[in-house]
Homo-oligomer: A and B are copies of this chain.
Amino acid sequence: METRELRYFVAVAEELHFGRAALRLGIAQPPLSRAIGALERRLGAALLERGSRGVSLTGAGAVLLREARAALDAVEAAERRTRRAALTAAGHPSVVLAAKAGASGELLAKLLDVHAAEPGAVAVDVLLCGPGEQAGVLRDGRADVALLHRPFDDTAGFDTEDLHTEGQVVILPAGHPLAVRPHLRLDEVTGLPDLPLPRWPRPDGSFPDGPGPQVRDHTQLTQLIALGRACAVVPESGRTGLREDLAAVPVLDAPRVTTVIAWPPHSRSTAVAGLVRAATTL
């Protein structure tokens, strides 16, 4: 199978519409129809159900969508990592570290300091991601190593090293009645009608249904909380550097969050190893 066929199939499977998929791929619709048809014939499997109202995935199609995404990520990673290896050989060694924007700021700063102090440390490019983006960024080679947060991020498929475990706090407007409490339970803060939990975008950019406001980044979140339109449950370290119009109250029964450093299991370059070593000595 060629990656071109996989890209074509993924486009159709995501759009569930040959015309739109062709538009997205920058080709005409007929060659796309033919390519998918040929793919189905070669695999000996129906991938799409052509109904009169658009198309839908078959079971085999759903499997191929999942596997094709992984395979395309691997191919992209091969290309990116090779390009970066060439730069390294040309005298510009660097590692790309993915971190969630607005999380673990303290730890990240310490990590970069400790690593920079080591002899022979290479330059570290920090790639800030939205929530849930890090795993993908690591898989497709845009990053070499990432800071993830269990249980929020999926660490499956990566090698990891635990760095730090902490409880969670709820961030509230400073004037809110609950803000004066010494601590809270989870059921007291989820489903507050006046302060709903915000909705973060899915990897594809769409938002889940629900009552809360839509947020895309940390700034939007703090602003919404300050405006009294939302609250948020975040790891303790998120309270450092908090705006003065916000308050943080520990949530005792919220799951504890573990910060881990993760990297693709087969790419243990010396540069990544150095960063991991620095992280574990924190």
Contact = CB atoms under 8 A, between A and B. Distances in A.
A66 B85 CA distance: 12
Given A2-B2, A156-B265, A157-B266, A78 B82 contact: no
Interface stretch (A67-75, A116-124, A186-194): A67-75
Number of chain A interface residues as a range: 35 or more
Contact of A43 (B59, B82, B89, B156): B82
B45 A83 contact: yes
A46 B159 CA distance: 30
Oligomer: number of copies: 2
Interface in A68-108: 68, 70-71, 73-75, 77-79, 81-83, 85-86, 88-89
Interface string A36-79: 00000001111100000000001110111011101101110111
Interface in A1-18: 1-4, 6
Contacts of A86: 43-46, 59-60
Contacts of A60: 82-83, 85-86, 89
B67 A81 contact: yes
A267 interface: yes
B156 A156 contact: no
A68 B71 CA distance: 11
A75 B6 contact: yes
Contact of A59 (B63, B75, B85): B85
